[in-house]
Amino acid sequence: MSHNWSRGLITALVTPMKGDGIDGAATKELIERQVRAGVGGVVVAGGTGEHGALSLDERADLTRVVADATNGRLPFIVQTGALTTRDAVKLSQDAQEIGAAGLLVPAPYGEAVNWREKQAYYETINDSVSLPIMLYNTATAGLMALEQIAQLAELSNVSAIKQSSGDATALGDIVTWSRTRDFAVYTGWDDQLAPAVLAGAHGALLGAGNVVPELIVQVLDLCYRRQLDSEFEEAWGRLRRFLRFLGTSENYVSVVKLAIQLRGLDVGDVRRPYLMPQKDEREALIAELRLIDAVLTRA
C-alpha cells in the first residue's frame, strides 16, 4: 500500500490541562510514554482530546507542542473537524504548516448536516491542503454508509477512515471494500480492536492508548502475526475487559484522564461542562487497572 498511514495503534491523545490552559510539560511526558510503548502514531485534539472544549488557537498551540515533543519520532495526525468549513480549513492548513502527517476529519457536529453539505465540506478541506485525510465516521457527526464513504474516497487526499460505530457488519463491509483500493481502515471502537485487525483492518485509533499502550501494541502484534495462542487469549481477554469498562463508563474521556493520573502522570481534569468520575467509578477503575497490571507484569 502506498497511502503511508501507520499500521498498529494510533493513540487519540488526551489534552493535559493545568489551570485554565494546556499543560505542555505533561503533554511531552505523555508523548514519551507513547514512544516507549512503540505505538504507530498519535492524534491531536480528537474526541478524547476534548476538541470541542478547546478554542481554535488552543488547538493550533497544542499541535505545536506535540510537533515539538514528537520531534520526528512519531507521526502525528491532527483532528481538524469544526462546526464551520472556514474553521476546519484554517485548522487543516495550520496542521499542514506545523508538520502533521495527516488529518482526521469528522463532519460537523451539532445540527445535522445533509449529504450535499457534507460533500461540499470535505471537498473544500481536501482542496485546501496536500496532506492525506482520514475520514472520521462517528455517530455524533452522523454515520456514513459505505456508498458515501466510497464517494468521498474519490477525493485526491482521502485515503483512510476511522470507523467508530459498534456495527461489526458495517466494519467488515468497509474492510472488504478497502481491499480493492489504496485505503486504510482503523477501528475506533475499542473492544473491536482484535476482531477488526484479524478481519483486515489496518490498525486501531483509540483513546485507551493513553492508558495501556504496551498491552494494545502487544495484542495488535499478535493479531498481525496471527499468533492466536494462549498468550493472545490471556492478553486480549484482560484487555477486552478493560476496553469494555471504558466503553460503558459515564464519560469515556474523564475515565481515561483519571486512569492516566492513577498511572502517575497528572494530566488535569476534563474541562467543564464535563466532570471527572465519582467515587464508585473511581474505585471500579482502580480494580480494573490492577487486573491489567497483572497482565503487563507477566508479559
Distance CA 290, CA 237 (A): 14
Residues 6+ apart with CB under 8 A from 191: 240, 243, 244, 247
Instruction: For residue range 238-286, list pLDDT tens digits in order.
Output: 999 999 999 999 999 999 999 999 999 999 999 999 999 999 999 999 9
DSSP states along 159-216: EEEEEESS-HHHHHHHHHHHTTTT-EEEE-SGGGHHHHHHTT--EEEEGGGGT-HHHH
Q: How many CB atoms lie within 10 A of CB 230?
A: 7
Q: How far apart are the first and last CA of the chain?
A: 32
How much is the pLDDT for 296? 57
Backbone dihedral angles phi then psi of residue 20, each to the nearest 5 degrees:
-105, 15
**Which three cell numbers, joined as nine digits, stand for 227?**
499468533
- Residue 117: the pLDDT is 97
Residue 272 DSSP code: T
Question: Phi and psi dihedrals of 287, rounded to 5?
Answer: -65, -40
- How many C-alpha atoms does 1 have within 13 Å on its Cβ side? 17
Residues 6+ apart with CB under 8 A from 29: 265
Q: What is the mean pLDDT of each run of 10 residues along the chain (299 residues)?
A: 83 96 97 98 97 96 98 97 97 98 94 94 98 95 94 98 94 96 96 96 98 97 97 95 96 98 97 96 96 67
Q: Is 17 helix (H, G, I), strand (E, B) or coil?
A: strand
Phi, psi of 203 (to 5 degrees): 180, -160
pLDDT reported for residue 83? 95
Task: For residue 28, give the 3-state DSSP assignment.
Answer: helix
CA 165 to chain centre: 13
Which position has the grid cell 461542562? 273
Q: Kindly give, in sequence order, each residue whose CB lies less than 8 Å from that of residue 143, ignoring residues fewer than 6 positions away.
A: 137, 165, 170
Contact 23, 268 (CB under 8 A): yes
- pLDDT value of residue 190: 95
Residue 1: its pLDDT value, please?
Answer: 39
Judge whether 271 and 251 are in contact, CB under 8 Å.
no
Walk me through the domains of the chain, giving residue ranges and CATH numbers. Answer: 8-225 (3.20.20.70)
Place of cell 469515556: 252
Q: Which three cell numbers stand for residue 80?
A: 481538524
Cell readout for 147 is 456508498
